[in-house]
Structure formats: structure tokens, C-alpha cells
Amino acid sequence: MSGLTLHPMKEIKIIVQGDQLKFITDLLDRTGATGYTLINNISGKGHHGFHEGHLLFNDTSSQVMVFTVVPENKVEPILAGLGPLFNRHSGAMFVTDVTVSRREHFAPA
């Protein structure tokens, strides 16, 4: 990747039932995430068994994955906000190291 400078960041992936989506997006907005991506109607097998990705009744009845890329200092506030959610509801969360070429898109000055 000649000519590009890469900057370390953290990627957070959150998988929850669709009815928890507003809570997640509000949390990301409040903690200063500059953006996020939503993937609706996901399928998979986890601790609570297999989850179908198709809609049963509406968007809130299926699972959704929300992912965002943030500077490391934003991770703890996001995790603190997710704690109460995961104490009451099923879901999963993953935090990984990533690098980005345009830091200003994820951590404005």
C-alpha cells in the first residue's frame, strides 16, 4: 500500500435483535462514533441456538449487526453502555484491531 499511511483504530461489531437497534445507534451517537453500518436479517448459530435471518413480522423480529470503527478511547464508553443491554438481552459483541487510511473519517479533529 505504497503512499498510504495507516492509523490504528478499533472495530466494534454488535449483534442484537432488531428491537434493540435504536438503543445501539443512540449509544454510538452519544459516545461520538462518526458512523456505523447496519446489516439486517442476519442468520447464525450461537449460545441460544440457530437464528433465522428472514423477516417474521417486521425488522424488529430478526437479528441485526451494527459495526463501527472508532479510536481506542471510544471503546470503553461504548462497552459501558452495552453492559446493561447484554445483562437483559441476548446478543454478541466483538472488538478487533483495524487500521484505516483516512483517520479523519473516524476521529475528527
Task: Give the global pTM.
Answer: 0.84
Lowest mean pLDDT segment, chosen from 23-37, 44-58, 73-87: 44-58
Q: What is the mean pLDDT of the chain?
A: 87
Residue-range domains of the chain with CATH? 7-105 (3.30.70.120)
In whole angstroms, give the CA distance from residue 71 to residue 56. Answer: 37
pLDDT, residue 45, reads: 75
Cell numbers 456505523 label which residue? Answer: 36
pLDDT at 60: 55
Mean pLDDT for 17-30 is 95
Task: List phi, psi (to 5°) of 103.
Answer: -55, -35
Mean pLDDT for 1-23 is: 91
* 106 vs 11, more confident: 11
**Cell numbers describing residue 37:** 453500518
